[in-house]
Amino acid sequence: MSDTNAFTAMRVADRLRHRTAAPWEVFGERLRRYEVHLNGDRVEMWRSPIELEGYGIRLFREGEEALGVGGAAATDLSDAGVEASLHDAETVARYGRFPARRISLPGPGSHYPEVDVVDRSLWAHPVEAIETYVHDLLEPFHGRSGVRPSFGSVRATLVEATLANSEGLQRRYAHTNVELELAVKAFGGAEGAPAGEYWATRRFRRLPGAQEVHADVDRWCRVAEDVRHAGSPVSAATNVVLPPGVLADILPTIVGFRLSGPAQLRKMMPPLDARVGAPILSIDDNGLEPFALGTAPSDDEGVPQARRPLLEGGLVRGSLTDRLHAGALGLSGGGGNGKRESAQFPNWFHFAEGLAPTSTTLEVPTGTGGSDDELIEAAREGLYVEQLGYAFPDPVSGAFGGELRAAYRIQNGRLGEPVRGGTIGGVVFAPEGAPSLLSQVQAIGSSTKLVGGLKTAAWLVGGMTVAGA
């Protein structure tokens, strides 16, 4: 992907410069996709490479009262294809209206940070790197009794992303993405207990090493076996320890919207300096976290990435914006969170997605709660949630709630019997004095972990609502 043909956005931009005087931008991608599908503990099928090249255009019609915004996406880079896309974008811009008078697109000359977002081994030797990872993933199951993978897949994408706009900006960067899905099933035994299952779903920038993979597989197998003998939770408001993997299914979707320009325009964002969280809780949006999914030298508009404070000591300190919403809110410059990716349902290509303010990596500074065992000891009685079936995070209401797929009772400050079934839920944001996930944080652990769009330690949250099976 190092040849000049990879400059997708620039090739489209060359045509647009001679066709329209309106402000415009192009986001291009050239992708190679490698997929391995598993059936039990064997490779059932390879699909590689799947190659795709495409672009998304945004066009702006500046007016007295509102800005016309139109977009189109295509994989046809011929003159006729670009002409058709431009026509579609112009048609939409004629009728689409946004409450800003003009758009300030970033131009050339900005300083872009150096960030780590490429797995070099995967980029240079994708098939060999994936084969090694799949071997490391399946090897711990060999000789293990009563637990084995049911099905799964590993999907790796190598991306050349390019940006260009009417202000003369031209940007290019590469990144890698990996998606894992693996169902681990525990079965057998004279007691005749039903099968237990653990679903491992992960998204990351680089392939982990054998030691990390083996440790993960051992944990998945242990949880799958525990689920076979799990009891039912009791309906109560109780102390709950939430590890990073569970919090990552809740916070990016809800915090990423409720503390954003779109929510601010709709009067749904808490005002600056309002208290929405416990005094021990701070959250940054960190677009520079190495190898995080949201990290890049710039956002998808070309604004350099940075760290942005959202909560400080439980108080609202900032919001996530792109250039469009920054203009509507009267912010000079602004942006950094304009992304062509859905936080809830991410796709492996982004050029066809609409651009909107989205969190990069939400980062919660460590607390003084210590290890997970120390948080469990501090909880005394309650639940440790290993995995939810799905948290159903609702960005508009701020509510979430999901099935307890795997959890453990906390009894006398120690982990007790496994439980499953029933639900746990609540709201992330609430008015000051009302219960919410953010306001009921009692302790934050001392060792962070990057999971998806969140980097945090485990949280001890008091008074969470649990409904029995």
Ordered DSSP codes for 360-410:
S-EE----S--SHHHHHHHH-SEEEEEEES-----TTT-EEEEEEEEEEEE
Residue-level pLDDT at 359: 96
Same domain assignment for residues 198 and 324: no
Q: Kindly give the pairing relationship between strand 454-456 and strand 338-339.
A: unpaired
Choosing from 228, 257, 280, the residue where a domain stops is: 228
DSSP class of residue 275?
A: B
Which of the listed residues 177, 197, 228 is the one where a domain comes to its end?
228
- Quote the pLDDT of residue 77: 96
Assess whether 271 and 284 both reside in one domain. yes
Residue 1 is predicted with a pLDDT of 43
CA-angle at 86, arms to 75 and 177, nearest 5°: 35
The verdict on 238 and 205 lying in the same domain is: no
- Provide the pLDDT for residue 4: 52
Helix (H) or strand (E) holding 238: strand 236-242
Same domain flag for 101 and 224: yes
Q: Within this chain, do residues 219 and 244 fall inside the same structural domain, yes or no?
A: no
CATH of the domain at 107: 3.30.2290.10
From first to last of the 469 residues of the chain, give the pLDDT tens digit: 445 566 999 999 999 998 999 999 999 999 999 999 999 999 999 999 999 999 999 999 988 789 999 999 999 999 999 999 999 999 999 999 999 888 999 999 889 999 999 999 999 999 999 999 999 999 999 989 899 999 999 999 999 999 999 999 999 999 999 999 999 999 866 556 678 899 999 999 999 999 999 999 999 999 999 999 999 999 999 999 999 999 999 999 999 999 999 999 999 999 999 999 999 999 999 999 999 999 999 999 999 999 999 999 999 999 999 999 998 998 877 789 999 987 777 899 999 999 999 999 999 999 999 999 999 999 999 999 999 999 999 999 999 999 999 999 999 999 999 999 999 999 999 998 899 999 999 999 999 999 999 999 999 999 999 998 7
- Whether 239 and 184 share a structural domain: no
pLDDT at residue 191, as a whole number: 58
- Looking at residue 201, its pLDDT comes to 95
Model pLDDT, residue 3? 53
Instruction: Indicate if 172 and 182 belong to the same structural domain.
Output: yes
pLDDT confidence of residue 468: 87
Please give the DSSP secondary-structure letter assigned to residue 267.
Answer: T
Domain range enclosing 265: 230-469
CA distance 133 to 131: 5
Pairing of strands 356-357, 362-363: unpaired
Residues 106 and 234 grouped into a single domain: no
| Residue 260 DSSP symbol | B
Distance CA 178, CA 157 (A): 6
In our burial notation (b when 16+ CB lie closer than 10 A, e otherwise), range 105-131 reads bbeeeeeeeebebbbeebbeebeebbe
- For the sheet with 24-39, list strands across it: 97-98, 67-74, 42-61, 24-39, 147-165, 170-186, 196-204
Domain count for the chain, please give it: 2
Whether 383 and 453 map to the same domain: the answer is yes
Both 329 and 458 in a single domain? yes
- Residues 215 and 99 reside in one and the same domain: yes
For the chain, what percentages of helix, strand and coil (3-state, to nearest 5) are there? 20, 35, 40
Domain end position, chosen among 228, 256, 289 = 228
Contact assessment for residue 458 and residue 445, using Cβ atoms and an 8 Å cutoff: yes
Q: Are residues 360 and 415 in the same domain?
A: yes
